[in-house]
Amino acid sequence: MPAKKTSRRARLIVIVVVLLLVAGVGGGTYWGISTVRDSFPQTTGSLKLKGLAAPVSVKRDGSGIPQIYADNAKDLFLAQGYVQAQDRFWEMDVRRHMTSGRLSEMFGDGQVETDAFLRTLGWRRVAEKEYKQLPEETRDYLKAYSAGVNAYLKDHKGSALSVEYAALDLAGEDYQPADWSPVDSVAWLKAMAWDLRGNMSDEVDRALMTGRLDKDQIEDLYPEYPVDRNKPIVGQGSVDPATKKFDPKAEGGEAGSDTGTGNGTGTGNGTGTGNGTGTGNGTGTGSGTGAGDTGQPAAGTGGGTGTPGASGGSDSTQGAGEAAEGATTQMGAVADKLDEIPGLLGPNGSGIGSNSWVVSGKYTTTGKPLLANDPHLAPQLPSVWYQMGLHCRSLDKSCPYDVSGFTFSGMPGVVIGHNQHISWGMTNLGADVTDLYLEKVRDGKYLYDGKEVPYRTREETIKVAGGKDRTITVRETNNGPIVSDRNKELRKVGDTAPVGNAAPDRGDGYAISLRWTALEPSKTMDAVFKLNRAADFSDFRAAAREFAVPSQNLIYADTKGNIGYQAPGSIPVRGKGDGRYPAPGWDPRYRWKGYIPQRALPWEYNPERGYIVTANQAVVDREKYPYLLTDDWGYGARSQRIDDLVQSKIKDGGKISMDDMETMQMDNSSEIAKLLVPYLLKIEVRDKYVRNAQKLLEGWDYTQDSDSAPAAYFNAVWRNLLKLAFGDKLPKALRVKGDCLYVAPSDDSGPVDDLNGNQRLVRECGQRSADSAQPDGGDRWFEVVRKLLKQPDSEWWKTRDTSVRKGDRNRDDLLAHAMKDARWELTSKLGKDIDTWSWGRLHRLMLKNQTIGTSGPGFMQWLLNRGPWDLGGGEAAVNATGWNAAGGYDVIWVPSMRMVVDMGDLDNSRWINLTGASGHAYNAHYTDQTDKWAKGEFLKWPYSEKAVDKATEDQMALTP
């Protein structure tokens, strides 16, 4: 289940299903085997499908990947709905219950808190508004897709839909899936936007840090982007700060045009799609107040820790002082809740990312552009991506689609891929599109501009399988819903976020409201169809203008040899404040003033350097761009490595091949190891046991292959360094659950000495999940450590005395301490003999079914989950198999798919998915691509009808 805690009912379901399967597989019981196979899709022969105007062909290759051929667009999308329901309906059904806050209807009272938070955000309500304002043609396509799904539901019930439904039946629940609706498809975009929402987690974390760190210490942990070392995406072109217009002389062409395709390269902040769409942890359950009650929760509960930094400072500091980006007291509550809310794509934070790059034909062996993309998302089973092709037999205005690529089950069209003219990829731009506001709430009103204003309320009823309905009250201010009502961590933010002297009395803490672009209706669904039929860069940019949320870096290539980039999205223009800390909701100066004009968003077209790299780095040099996109970019470790790899191939007239693009995607090089290992090797280690491990680093080439012992030891040193230097100094709200320390109190009274003059210590235990705790070890921490390595006597290197050893006094003491701790940690995990150590044995991927396969031992692992796989790569490597250094070494981020497109010969393109086409356990295509994915191998990607026919192994005819 998406929530952390599995209900008693869910455990019963799992046991029942497992026993059935065991009976079927082990004992030969016919009913058990037939139940498992009952839901496998029909892939040959023919069947009648109500609503079709003409016959449709569905051709599947040896991996079960479908290519659909139709005579008109409505038939094409109707068939797409039917085919996706064949393979993935259970996944689709769970997703729509999640986006509408109705998980409790399927899984019982264990999901009430999650539903309450999602109802508060109101994803479904916004999706309903979006659908109504979409163009008629787009609505028709969504209706056709829904008709296809419902045609499948009409003829398939219970075990014929999936084995999970058979389990629900056997558990005595009379659950019948409702018909699919177009709004179900649109709502999925809200889940995408939530996990790619930008810096909200950083805002929360900074606010929570104020409970133990001062402003300067917090700023140490969030260094400026190294623009001189790690190149921004848009490297050419400039903007006149006075006029806020592009300077067309910067590179020539009509750089400021919204639709033109000139050679200008506008600068600006983009926000790429990255993170892909894995399942990950979203926002924890937390103790929101009133999640299942009819009463209205109090303004802010949570125990605060004072108001450091209460006055002074610049506007940006006043963000830290006047509005900590998550209001610390309330923030703690919100963070807890955020930690339990299912993040469909992964834990939000610095781990989110993706790679994409495109190389001009001038530098390729094919003479035409090559485009690569691999969105990084949390691993899930089945993969969030679904591969397919959508082909009109005759292309004209009524049927303009000939597109192939990756999409989401439950959504029509193709999200990333290519058509006959262009190809496109996405990474997360990371624009700051969320702001948390501190709200002074009392007696049904909130304070704004010196007046008490009644807040809006609505009641939401949550239906609970096997239990009583719950009713909650959602409160909204003019900034948005009050999310601290549902989230403990956000309530902590409200209790402790620093505010200015003019702030109203804090009382029991401020409430926290959320302003987020995704809570305003947009036409992002329309952008998908426009991308699918785009013929040139002008069409591509026009489609991008509709891609409101999530903000993505969109890269481009076409068969004529052009390459390009566009930063789309609804990105707010703020009044006061910079979004780094929660803003004072009572002050109208902190309201949003509008959005960055689309014509002013950064773009490039055929840049002189001949290639474009996007990997969540800064989109543009902030000093050269008049609008604030964000200050919380990725720090460019991956992007600069890709840039260096491209440069190394094209220097002296070299060319890049398709194989080169694949090899780059699997690059395992550790950028932090290159920086840190020379310091580690200078440390004199007298303990022979530790010295033997230190020797592993001598002559290491910094590659993190799965069989590498040096990679295992270095990453253990890195993890222990972060814990000693930073983790043990962070507040409990950021540390991993179960990590308990004796620390000085952080209340207003300050440290208290006992009768003997010794500092009084209290025991504090971490509260964060292992996937989202800090320090996570991402490339922000690379920059933190890079700076501190030049300050050997910095306070960050110092640790307190313990009963076992004296505290570390400087950098070298702490590095030696980290190497010793790493040696002992790996001895316990991998054994005494360092010759048997390997990075892959630590760094493992487990694929977990994201419904009833996410918790529970033994039986469930055997039934629905697969793995483990020992992987190479690592955090902030190009082969971004991410892990959280605070939580352990397990893989929590992966390249969720990989593709390389050859614009000179589209049939020569290659792709691979994390799992397989099917969502049915024990189907041949459940995880049939995973072994190849883990080895960095690809499948052929047939596109032309001739190539598709050659690859076809199963063909089915859908007839009216």
Q: Which of 23-37, 56-70, 458-472, 598-612 has the lowest mean pLDDT?
A: 23-37
pLDDT at 194: 77
Q: Which of 306-320, 417-431, 868-882 has the lowest mean pLDDT?
A: 306-320
Tell me the pLDDT band of 240, cut-offs 50, 70 and 90. Answer: very low
pLDDT at 249: 38
Task: Report the distance separating Cα 140 and Cα 72, nearest Å.
Answer: 12
For the beta carbon of residue 528, count every other beta carbon within 10 angstroms.
Answer: 22
pLDDT at 272: 34
pLDDT at 527 over 50: yes
Instruction: Give Cα 605 distance to the centre of its chain.
Output: 28
Choice between 489 and 836, residue whose per-residue pLDDT is larger = 836
Tell me how far CA of residue 240 lies from CA of 250, 444, 599, 626, in angstroms.
10, 47, 14, 8
pLDDT at 265 over 50: no
pLDDT at 864: 81
Amino acid identity, position 95 = R
Nearest to 547 by CA among 563, 530, 561, 564: 530
Nearest to 532 by CA among 391, 429, 387: 391
pLDDT at 515 over 70: yes
Omega before 868 cis (within 30°)? yes
Residue 103, burial from CB neighbour count under 10 angstroms (0-12, 13-18, 19+): buried
pLDDT at 532 over 60: yes
3-state secondary structure of 818: helix
pLDDT at 550: 87
pLDDT digits 0-9 by tens, 694-742: 999 999 999 999 999 999 999 999 999 999 999 999 999 999 998 998 8
Q: Which residues pair with 370 in a beta bridge?
A: 359, 902
pLDDT at 273: 33
pLDDT at 608: 95
3-state secondary structure of 528: helix
Query: Helices (H) and strands (E) in the chain — how many of each?
Result: 27, 38
Tell me the pLDDT band of 437, cut-offs 50, 70 and 90. Answer: very high
Contact yes or no for 98/2 (Cβ under 8 A): yes
Q: Which of 15-24, 126-135, 539-548, 800-809 has the lowest mean pLDDT?
A: 15-24
Supply 568's token pair: 């789309």
| Straight-line distance from the first to the last Cα atom of the chain, in angstroms, rounded to the nearest whole number | 38
Contact yes or no for 475/119 (Cβ under 8 A): no
Supply 329's token pair: 């007291």
Contact yes or no for 43/197 (Cβ under 8 A): no
pLDDT at 751: 45
Q: How much is the average pLDDT of 233-255?
A: 48
206's enclosing H/E stretch is: helix 200-209
Q: What is the CA radius of gyration of the chain?
A: 27
Tell me the pLDDT band of 6, cut-offs 50, 70 and 90. Answer: very low
What's the pTM? 0.87
Task: Report the distance separating Cα 896 and Cα 218, nearest Å.
Answer: 33
Task: Report the distance separating Cα 283 and Cα 487, nearest Å.
Answer: 8
pLDDT at 347 over 80: no
pLDDT at 362 over 80: yes
Instruction: Give Cα 805 distance to the centre of its chain.
Output: 41
pLDDT at 269 over 50: no
Tell me the pLDDT band of 263, cut-offs 50, 70 and 90. Answer: very low
pLDDT at 768 over 50: yes
For the beta carbon of residue 654, count every other beta carbon within 10 angstroms.
Answer: 12
Could you give the residue ranges of the DSSP H alpha helices within 848-917? 859-863
Tell me the pLDDT band of 536, cut-offs 50, 70 and 90. Answer: very high
Mean pLDDT, the chain, rounded, equals 84
pLDDT at 23 over 50: no
Choice between 197 and 613, residue whose per-residue pLDDT is larger = 613
3-state secondary structure of 9: helix
pLDDT at 882 over 50: yes
pLDDT digits 0-9 by tens, 65-89: 999 999 999 999 999 999 999 999 9
pLDDT at 321 over 60: no
pLDDT over 90 for what percent of the chain?
A: 68
